[in-house]
Structure 1
Amino acid sequence: MVCLRSVNMFCPFCGNNLEQVTRFCLSCGGSLECLKDTGQTEGPDILHHCVQYFNEGHSYAVIVDILSTFHGVKISLRTLKSKLNQAGFYRRKGYSSQIAVINAIRLELRGPGQLFGYRTMWQALKQKYSLRVKRDDVMNLLRELNPRGCERRSRRRFIRRTYHSMGPNYMWHADGYDKLKPFGVALSGCIDGFSRKVLWLECGPTNNNPRVIAQYFLKCVRTLGVIPMRLRTDCGTENGIMAAIQCTLRHHHHDYYSGASSHMYGTSMTNQRIESWWSILRKGRSQFWMELFADLRDAGYFNGSHEHQCLLRFCFVDVIQKDLDECVRLWNSHRIRPSRTASCPGGVPNELYYLPHRFGSRDCGFEIEQAELDAVPETSLSIAPCGDQNMQEYLDFAMEHNDLQKPENWETASELYMKLKEYAQL
């Protein structure tokens, strides 16, 4: 075996420090014939960089440019090809064995690599495993080793998560709706995960006050006479009292989700039932109000100030609440088509909620006694409909003094808004 003495030489394949340069690396077995003529002028890492950029898939011209720009080494295209060929690196020959490629692909398919297409897998084989393989061969091997993944990718469809629920009152999803907040109107709602029945949908001056949200929750619990097995909210401070009440009313139960486990915090994006329903509300209801109030703003009759927001709430809140109540009635009595992406059955929300046995399920809620609700500390909070007690008294006086009537629809509410705005000189 021919030995060439060298100082601070490194294997371009594994980086092993070479005390002497032989034909093959004693660590990885790579050919070292290419190091015979390198000397010390170009540095020990130049060939290592050439191999690295070659494995990353750069063209020869790009590798020459990178070496010149970032490493200060100027070599010709012919020299680069010669060095890579001496090291055993070729574009169209010297491919790795099929067994090594298959083993690497199977290793990737055990983890996140099962989501890779053949192009990404081909790149991973080159860079991560230093394997040389044709891209078409990787495509054919993936079809054999991961047929389900190939079929799923070929459909080019978004993979949705499957929603699971054991029955009505298993999970309540509560959240606030802020699309009307620029105009001073805040909405709060809650929906049952199994039946998709809207349990409450309230309109008011705020949905950030925890006492207000707790009041909505207790009102719903009193009306239905049950407490849910679990309650799902986002991490906002407005949900703190409601979460505490839920955990308190469930502390004496003995199921898996009793006590503190009966409430679940999470991000708004993952609170999918109520977030999905908000998009339905916007398409069917709230878009109308957003455009109506935007027209008032664009015409110069609304500037977003506290006084204008109070006046708008005073005139429109009752009308909006009436519209929301109608929306809830229609939604809870309409038929939902079955979905392949959900384990919950299709049907009418009211039927799903009150007659779960017809759909092979059961009521997961816990009956609540009035005495238990009376033991909860008082959380009711009296807030003026317009959000400001002084403004409320002034506007009530203006209504009575000018013999004005409460609005019945959006048209009369708009007329009342313009009249009171003129009287108040806003």
Structure 2
Amino acid sequence: MNISGDLNIAVAIREYFDSGHTYEVILDMLKCNRDISISMRTLKTHFKESGLYRRGNYSPLPEVRRAILSELRGPEQLFGYRTMWQVLKQKHKLRVKRDVVMRLLRQLNPQGIALRTRRRFTRRTYHSMGRNYIWHVDGYDKLKPFGLALSGCIDGFSRRLMWLVCGATNNNPAVIAHNYINCVKSLGVIPMRLRTDFGTENGTMAAIQCTLRHAHTDYYAGSSSHSYGSSTGNQRIESWWSYFRRGRSQFWMDFFGDLRDSGNLNGSHEHQCLLRFCFRGVLQKDLDECKGLWNKHRIRPSRLASCPRGIPNELYLLPHRYGSRDCGFAVEERELDVFPEEGLPVGLCGDPNIEEYLQQTVQQNTLQQPQDWELATELYLALKDIAGF
């Protein structure tokens, strides 16, 4: 079979290779996801012809150093050497040894290493039957003082992030239900169980989950498919928020805090709308990158966890490799179309009147939507002066 002649297969193999999957997993991915069966020898021959090697041909050290310095300018300054190594491989396409990254971080970010060394997290025992056995949903409020609200969901077995979304609010039931429906539509499956806290924003999503499960006959069918509990008991998503605080959100909290302390941001509705208008797209891009890195990183073994170690994407997509199964239930899109999506915030900032004004101001002054946090800061300060907020 000529793999190189089929561009789609070659691109898929390159993507699996860059994600760090083993050769056996790549063969399994091709067979399960694309119905393509090839031998290990054919795969290795393709790697050799394409110049794909796990070891050797390492990137120049100055280039690696420049890439790390560029990452340390943003929220990635909170990363440890393992995550930074993964970023260099997947984002910058660099070949570098992990111990080299560790040594460079010691030189370039000694303060960050000292901060991470002092922090510890105690894990609790967790049990799950397989993928889609239970999804954990929760909101993240640490950025709410600045007008930005996050919503996330994680699969309990694989620890794969199902969604990670930034919006104007995470207290609106329509917003949380919208995130749930979008995820279910993309997968074509609903979880056996759904776990949330007691917040009223989860009511519509819980009702949809129970409605979709009403015709099933298993132990958790119908109303038993959703369970409320305290936030501290929702351990999968809460432990991930702890990781997120260390690796991402602390940067944004400090940055927006500095913006507030300098007098350029207060708690007014106008300032929060303006901040969302300028930063929401940039923050969502950062969240998408964070989600991708997490779903492709390798979870180390833990004596306090009954779930297997491995890469979240592999654990979720190939549960049979870990002696598990899919506990979810298939759902068709027409079953989801009966749930109307009303009451969703409009635009980037969540206020249609301010949104229209800001869009007109951007067009009249030939300003552009930013692609990174530095350009977003410039746009925010420019619009703040023009609007007189």
TM-score of the pair, normalised by structure 1: 0.62
Structure 1 counterpart of 2:249: 286
Q: Which moved more, 1:383-392 or 1:351-360?
A: 383-392
Q: One-letter code of the match for 1:345? A: P
Q: Which moved more, 1:158-167 or 1:261-270?
A: 158-167
Call closer, same or farther: CA 1:295–1:341 in 2, change over 3 Å: same
Deviation at 1:278, TM superposition (A): 0.3
Conserved? CA contact 1:214–1:379, under 8 Å: no
| Alpha-carbon distance between aligned partners in 2 of 1:180 and 1:413, rounded to the nearest angstrom | 16
Q: Where does 1:215-294 land on structure 2 (aligned, <5 Å)?
A: 215-294=178-257
Q: Which moved more, 1:393-402 or 1:373-382?
A: 373-382
Q: One-letter code of the match for 1:422? A: D
The residue matched to 1:176 in structure 2 has which SS? strand
Q: Where does 1:155-174 land on structure 2 (aligned, <5 Å)?
A: 161-174=124-137
Call closer, same or farther: CA 1:218–1:339 in 2, change over 3 Å: same
Conserved? CA contact 2:174–2:341, under 8 Å: no
| Alpha-carbon distance between aligned partners in 2 of 1:355 and 1:405, rounded to the nearest angstrom | 42
Indicate whether 1:352 and 2:302 are aligned. no
Deviation at 1:385, TM superposition (A): 1.3
Conserved? CA contact 2:139–2:151, under 8 Å: yes
Q: Superposition RMSD on alpha carbons, in Å?
A: 1.5
Indicate whether 1:415 and 2:369 are aligned. no
Structure showing greater Rg: 1
Q: One-letter code of the match for 1:357? A: H
Q: Where does 1:370-381 land on structure 2 (aligned, <5 Å)?
A: 370-379=333-342, 381=344
Q: Could you tell me which of 194, 201, 206 is aligned with 2:169?
A: 206
Q: Could you tell me which of 190, 195, 207 is aligned with 2:153?
A: 190
Q: Which moved more, 1:382-391 or 1:282-291?
A: 382-391
Call closer, same or farther: CA 1:380–1:255 in 2, change over 3 Å: farther
| Alpha-carbon distance between aligned partners in 1 of 2:268 and 2:344, rounded to the nearest angstrom | 24
Conserved? CA contact 1:200–1:216, under 8 Å: yes
Structure 1 counterpart of 2:302: 339
Deviation at 1:387, TM superposition (A): 1.5
| Alpha-carbon distance between aligned partners in 1 of 2:123 and 2:386, rounded to the nearest angstrom | 54
Deviation at 1:369, TM superposition (A): 1.3
Q: One-letter code of the match for 1:332? A: N
Conserved? CA contact 1:168–1:364, under 8 Å: yes
Q: Structure 1, unaligned stretches of length 5 or more?
A: 1-157
Query: Identity, % of aligned pairs?
Result: 70
The residue matched to 2:382 in structure 1 has which SS? helix
- Cα deviation, 1:231-278, whole Å, max 9, x if unaligned, reads 000000000000000000000000000000000000100000000000
The residue matched to 1:286 in structure 2 has which SS? helix
Call closer, same or farther: CA 1:278–1:218 in 2, change over 3 Å: same
Conserved? CA contact 1:171–1:192, under 8 Å: yes
Q: One-letter code of the match for 1:333? A: K
- Cα deviation, 1:362-410, whole Å, max 9, x if unaligned, reads 0100011122112334447252210211110110011000000110100
TM-score of the pair, normalised by structure 2: 0.68
Indicate whether 1:364 and 2:327 are aligned. yes
- Cα deviation, 1:39-74, whole Å, max 9, x if unaligned, reads xxxxxxxxxxxxxxxxxxxxxxxxxxxxxxxxxxxx
| Alpha-carbon distance between aligned partners in 2 of 1:184 and 1:382, rounded to the nearest angstrom | 13
- Cα deviation, 1:160-184, whole Å, max 9, x if unaligned, reads 6420000000000000000000000
Conserved? CA contact 1:215–1:379, under 8 Å: no
Q: Where does 1:1-80 land on structure 2 (aligned, <5 Å)?
A: none
Q: One-letter code of the match for 1:385? A: L
Count of matched residue positions in the alignment of Structure 1 and Structure 2 = 270
